[in-house]
Structure 1
Amino acid sequence: MIIWLNGAFGAGKTTAAHELLHLLPGSTLYDPDLVGGELWKMLPKERLAQVDDVQDLPAWRRLVVDTAVALLAEIPGPLIAPMTLLVQQYRDEIFGGLAARRIPVQHFLLRPDETFLRARIDQRAASDGDAVRNWCLGHLPQYDAALGWLSADAHTVDTSQLTPRQTAELLAEAVRRGEGVCRIVQTPPPRAQTLAAGVLLFDDRDRVLLVDPTYKAGWEFPGGVVEPGEAPARAAVREVAEELGLRLTGEPALLVVDWEPPTAAQFGGLRLLFDGGRLDAARVEEVALPGEELRDWCFATEAEAEQLLSPNRVARLRWALRARAQGRALNLEAGVPVGA
């Protein structure tokens, strides 16, 4: 298990974590900052110039998960991770990766009132210098902007007038009560190339329905991996029923077959998109999401979808919309029509 202590830079996460070690037998401090520091040393300056923070590196997010897995293979746990995590997509990627490896996460937000928070940050200047103080203060707007999703996702502990020991005592009690448990679907990571089937559903303005998974970054088409022995079209219908609570009548028409090549981080495989047709207002009202798997859904124009989807999915959607308009399926490789 991982106990993730979140909050603003300077909120006292690390000091509380050290106190918590004494209250939870067998616990170990796990600092993802150390992972980032070593990664930062190894990457060329040209790559580092492309990001503002080590958390923006996909390699950091993967290594945070992989390092936790390696540590828990050596020690019983829990791991206590005092780490500010303010980008929800990064939270999804890391916590989803841990869930896929059957590692539960209890997520806590240490949230002192702003007056107390600023006072603590000012106190750090005496020992850590003005540069650290300015870093903490400079990230307060990002923290404030993230409070909406943080408060909904994590168990909040008001630490305004608490010592680190008192904070740790409250955290230990909350851990034992099972507070802050992140209920994320446990999707095992693939071990080989996969066959996946997605479905495009439209509203009366021809906007496409997209969903926001809790277990990985970015938005997606409704759909999922085709089970062994399952017909892809039937898998698409099954996934729509499981993810949206909608029953499709008949088998949807195929729009695109896209071969996604393997990379260093992904196995790739075949990706199919089917036409699920148009949803009227009454059917839209029937949409019901499984909370452990999907956080939200929306209808998006093609231009809006480009801001939500990954580049390979944007290309797949673009050609699927053209295939739908032409009334014929298209064969793609890496998002490009074969022979184009």
Structure 2
Amino acid sequence: MIIWLNGASGAGKTTAAQELLHLLPGSTLYDPEVVASGLRALLPKERLAQVDDVQDLPSWRRLVVDTAAALLAELPGPLIAPMTLLCQEHRDEIFGGLAARRIQVQHFLLHVEETFLRERIDRGAPPEGDLVRTRRLSRIPRYAAALPWLTADAHTVETSRLTPRETAEELAEGVRRGDGTCRIVQSPPPRAETLAAGVLLFDDRDRVLLVDPTYKPGWEFPGGVVESGEPPAQAAVREVAEELGLELGHEPALLIVDWEPPAPPLFGGLRLLFDGGHLTADRLRDVLLPGEELRDWRFATEDEAEKLLSPGRFARLRWALRARAEGRALNLEAGVPVGA
């Protein structure tokens, strides 16, 4: 298990974590900043200059998950991870990766009112730390902007007037109660190429329905991996029922087949998109998301979808819409029609 202590830079996460070690027998401090420091030492400065923060590096997010799994193979746990995560997509990728490795996360937000936070930053800056102080203060607006999703996802501990020991005592009680448990359902990472089936569903304005997974970044089409021996069209119908609570009542027509090439550490495979047709307003009232897998759903125009989907998924959508308009299925490789 991992106890993830989130909060603004300067909120006292590390000091609370050190106190918490004494209250949870067998616990170990796991600071993902160590992973960040390693990448800063290993990566060329040209690559580091391409991102605003080390957390923006996919390698950091993968290594945070892999390092946690490696540590828990050596230690009884739990791991206590004091690390600010203000990007919800980064949270989804990391916590989803941990869930895929059957590692439970309890997510706590150490919240400090802004007045107290500024005082702590001023008081806690190292002697040479004008730069550190300025950087921490500059991140306060970003923290404030992230509060709506943070407070919905994590168990909040108000620490403005608490000492590190008092904070740790509240955290220890919360851990014992199971507060902040992230109930993500995620399959283990694939070990070979996969076959996946997605479904495009439309409203009366021909906008496409997208869903927001809790276990990976970005938006997606309803769908999932085709099980062994399962016909892909039936898999598409099953996934719509499981993810949206809707029965299609028919096997949808195929729009595209796309071969996704391997891109280590991903294995790639075949990606199919089917035409699920239009959803009436009456049927939309029946949409019921599984909270452990999907956070939200929405309809999007093609332009809106380009901002929400990964480039590969958007390429599939663009060609699927063309296939739908032409009334014929298309065969793609890496998001491009074969022979184009």
Common fold by TM > 0.5:
yes
* Corresponding position of 2:40: 40
User: Where do residues 212-231 of structure 1 align in structure 2 (5 Å cutoff)?
Assistant: 212-231=212-231
Query: Following the alignment from structure 1 to structure 2, what is the Cα–Cα distance between the partners of residues 125 and 333?
Result: 53
User: Where do residues 48-63 of structure 1 align in structure 2 (5 Å cutoff)?
Assistant: 48-63=48-63
Query: Following the alignment from structure 1 to structure 2, what is the Cα–Cα distance between the partners of residues 126 and 202?
Result: 56
CA offset at residue 250 of structure 1?
A: 1.2
Give the 3-state SS of the residue equivalent to 2:23 in structure 1.
coil
CA offset at residue 296 of structure 1?
A: 0.3
Deviations along 1:137-159, whole A, 9 cap, x unmatched?
01111100000000000000011
| Counterpart amino acid of residue 253 in structure 1 | A
CA offset at residue 113 of structure 1?
A: 1.3
Q: Does 1:320 align with 2:314?
A: no
* Corresponding position of 2:337: 337
Give the 3-state SS of the residue equivalent to 2:210 in structure 1.
strand
CA offset at residue 79 of structure 1?
A: 0.2
User: Where do residues 239-278 of structure 1 align in structure 2 (5 Å cutoff)?
Assistant: 239-278=239-278
Identity of aligned residues (%): 79
User: Where do residues 31-180 of structure 1 align in structure 2 (5 Å cutoff)?
Assistant: 31-127=31-127, 129-180=129-180
CA offset at residue 186 of structure 1?
A: 2.5
Deviations along 1:288-322, whole A, 9 cap, x unmatched?
10000000000000000000000000100000000
| Counterpart amino acid of residue 96 in structure 1 | G
Query: Following the alignment from structure 1 to structure 2, what is the Cα–Cα distance between the partners of residues 234 and 128?
Result: 63
Query: Following the alignment from structure 1 to structure 2, what is the Cα–Cα distance between the partners of residues 56 and 150?
Result: 18
Q: 1:194 to 1:126 in 2, by over 3 A?
A: closer
Deviations along 1:229-252, whole A, 9 cap, x unmatched?
000000000000000000001110
User: Where do residues 5-44 of structure 1 align in structure 2 (5 Å cutoff)?
Assistant: 5-44=5-44
CA offset at residue 194 of structure 1?
A: 0.1
TM-score where L is the length of structure 2: 0.99
User: Is the contact between residue 211 and residue 219 of structure 1 (CA under 8 Å) also seen in structure 2?
Assistant: yes
Q: 1:333 to 1:22 in 2, by over 3 A?
A: same
Give the 3-state SS of the residue equivalent to 1:196 in structure 2.
strand
Total equivalences in the alignment? 340
| Counterpart amino acid of residue 222 in structure 1 | P
Q: 1:103 to 1:50 in 2, by over 3 A?
A: same
Give the 3-state SS of the residue equivalent to 1:167 in structure 2.
helix
Q: Does 1:287 align with 2:279?
A: no
Query: Following the alignment from structure 1 to structure 2, what is the Cα–Cα distance between the partners of residues 44 and 112?
Result: 36
CA offset at residue 126 of structure 1?
A: 4.7
User: Where do residues 233-244 of structure 1 align in structure 2 (5 Å cutoff)?
Assistant: 233-244=233-244
| Counterpart amino acid of residue 199 in structure 1 | V
| Counterpart amino acid of residue 220 in structure 1 | E
TM-score where L is the length of structure 1: 0.99
| Counterpart amino acid of residue 221 in structure 1 | F
User: Is the contact between residue 241 and residue 247 of structure 1 (CA under 8 Å) also seen in structure 2?
Assistant: yes
**CA RMSD across the alignment:** 0.7
Query: Following the alignment from structure 1 to structure 2, what is the Cα–Cα distance between the partners of residues 23 and 203?
Result: 53
Give the 3-state SS of the residue equivalent to 1:315 in structure 2.
helix
Query: Following the alignment from structure 1 to structure 2, what is the Cα–Cα distance between the partners of residues 45 and 122?
Result: 30
Is the deviation greater in 109-118 or in 198-207? 109-118
Please list every run of 5 or more consecutive structure 1 residues that lacks an aligned counterpart in the other structure. none
User: Where do residues 170-209 of structure 1 align in structure 2 (5 Å cutoff)?
Assistant: 170-209=170-209
CA offset at residue 125 of structure 1?
A: 2.4
| Counterpart amino acid of residue 39 in structure 1 | L
User: Is the contact between residue 124 and residue 132 of structure 1 (CA under 8 Å) also seen in structure 2?
Assistant: no
Is the deviation greater in 37-46 or in 213-222? 37-46
Following superposition, which runs of at least 4 residues in structure 1 exceed 2 angstroms of deviation? 125-128
User: Is the contact between residue 199 and residue 222 of structure 1 (CA under 8 Å) also seen in structure 2?
Assistant: yes
Query: Following the alignment from structure 2 to structure 1, what is the Cα–Cα distance between the partners of residues 199 and 216?
Result: 19
| Counterpart amino acid of residue 255 in structure 1 | L
